[in-house]
Amino acid sequence: MKKINVGLIGCGTVGSGVAKILMENTDLIRARVGADLILRRVADIDRKRDRGIRFDEGVLITDSYKVVDDPDIDIIVEMIGGEEVSRDMILRAIHNGKQVVTANKALLASHGNTIFREAAGKGVDLAFEASVGGCMPVIKTLRESLVGNRVKSMIGILNGTCNYILSKISDEGCTFKTALSEAQSRGFAEANPSLDVDGLDTAHKLAILTSLAYGMEINLHDIYIEGISNIAPLDIEFARDFGYRIKLLVISKNWENAVEARVHPTMIPFDNLLSNVNGTFNAITITGDAVGDILLYGHGAGMMPTASAVVSDIVDLARNILSGAKSRIPLLSYQMNHIRKIPIMPIDDISTHYYFRFSALDRPGVLSRISGILGDHKISIKSVHQKGRKSGGSVPIVMLTHIAREADVRKALSEIALLDIVSDRPVLIRIENENQED
């Protein structure tokens, strides 16, 4: 039986899952690959932790260099996380001519252009399915299944923590804080949750996907990011009344010479499958010129689902080695010389539907002043709703708009915020309809 030697750096939650699959599903993998994948070395600074795995003597070590530099190892799996050590280890593995698997989205979003260039230069494969959407095969779908399509748009839920929190607020009417504590106590959110709830983790994933979909360099910095910490139960309730749910979405659209790439809480209609994706699940709709819409759905995180995606990458690389395939698929989906610098549109330039909520004094003329300012900025109102009158205090005025330009919306909202009849800062939530013509 042929053998492929695998070295694992970092044996935390996902790393342990990878080790478990390789060691427990050995027969299955042999029956499918026609070779044995041997976990030859595992490096982790914590050798004592109980992982529920019995490694053979000498497999579990502390020195990562002994993995990356081992001449017998064919494939290096980087599961350290972080951006410094992981980058150095991956570059060293590439330099050593090894095939590499990683799930490190933060690293790829920040240093991917360099890393992929190095790998391509050395003719080394670097697989990263688990970096986006956990076990959903979104990277394989973009690089392989949609190869004949011009990707027109991608809209998805790519952060399980945020989706859990928003589902919980929606189901139970609790506050963001309560939902976050619950997520933390159930292990769905970190002690420091900002990477998730502020949207940066989601943006890392979107940066990778836009590159693969459109053949552009990875560009994290120009992605517009808004997190979920300001979402009020009241807005979720109003959304429901209008037939929408609020999700933290990645939205990316291809305008050929520029693309949209943004991460923000968004209202989507009930009949959009994404609105029915609840709890910690992830999902993404990709629209191509030939396929129309396709949607992928699955666990976006968690030990075994993420490990499953890592193992599929290991097998892909093993199959390349076993069949003698070199550079079979370009790393970033397009041949290196076809990857362009395509600009991401500033948020001011996008156009979409909007939901506004104003806290206004309950006086005659309020509506006319607010709608007047909106009209001055070419924002056309689709409907106005004044709900739950408060005697004496302020009342919420909710508006849904036709398609408007973000720059106009921002100007109008700053003017409205200055009105003496408006108390709190106006709330703005973008709406994504399948049919955005009007």
Query: Which residues are near a copy of itself by CB under 8 A?
Result: 17, 21-22, 25, 28-29, 31-34, 129, 135-137, 140-141, 144-150, 215, 271, 273, 276-277, 283, 288-299, 302, 304-305, 307-309, 311-312, 315-316, 319-320, 322-330, 333-335, 338
Q: How far is the CB of 33 from a copy of itself (least distance, A)?
A: 7
Nearer to a copy of itself, 146 or 263 (CB): 146
Strands 351-361 and 244-254: unpaired
426-429 LR contacts (CB < 8 Å, sep 24+): 426/356, 426/357, 426/358, 427/230, 427/232, 427/235, 427/355, 427/356, 427/357, 427/358, 428/354, 428/355, 428/356, 429/235, 429/239, 429/246, 429/265, 429/266, 429/267, 429/354, 429/355
Distance between CA atoms of 352 and 405, rounded to whole angstroms? Answer: 7
Nearer to a copy of itself, 135 or 427 (CB): 135
Nearer to a copy of itself, 9 or 274 (CB): 274
Query: What secondary structure does DSSP assign to 277-344, as a single string?
Result: --TTEEEEEEEETTTEEEEEEEESSSHHHHHHHHHHHHHHHHHHHHHT--S-S-TTSS-GGG-B-PPB
Distance between CA atoms of 332 and 127, rounded to whole angstroms? Answer: 10
Query: What secondary structure does DSSP assign to 181-197, as a single string?
Result: HHHHHTTSS-SS-HHHH
Beta bridge partners of 359: 396
Distance between CA atoms of 271 and 283, rounded to whole angstroms? Answer: 15
148 DSSP assignment: T
Q: How far is the CB of 312 from a copy of itself (least distance, A)?
A: 5
Residue 327: both structure tokens together: 């550079």
Nearer to a copy of itself, 297 or 358 (CB): 297
Residue 414 makes CB contacts below 8 A (sequence gap 6+) with none
Nearer to a copy of itself, 112 or 396 (CB): 112
Q: How far is the CB of 11 from a copy of itself (least distance, A)?
A: 17
426 DSSP assignment: P
Q: How far is the CB of 109 from a copy of itself (least distance, A)?
A: 22
Q: Which of the residues 205, 253, 378, 382 is marked catalytic? A: 205
Helix (H, G, I), strand (E, B) or coil at 431: strand
Q: How far is the CB of 220 from a copy of itself (least distance, A)?
A: 23
Catalytic residue at 122? no
For residues 210 and 112, the answer to whether their CB atoms sit within 8 Å is: no
422 DSSP assignment: B
Q: How far is the CB of 24 from a copy of itself (least distance, A)?
A: 9
Nearer to a copy of itself, 309 or 413 (CB): 309
For residues 112 and 219, the answer to whether their CB atoms sit within 8 Å is: no
Strands 2-9 and 35-43: parallel
Nearer to a copy of itself, 17 or 426 (CB): 17
Distance between CA atoms of 40 and 50, rounded to whole angstroms? Answer: 19
Q: How far is the CB of 301 from a copy of itself (least distance, A)?
A: 11
Nearer to a copy of itself, 328 or 378 (CB): 328
Q: How far is the CB of 214 from a copy of itself (least distance, A)?
A: 11
Distance between CA atoms of 58 and 71, rounded to whole angstroms? Answer: 16
Catalytic residues, which ones? 205
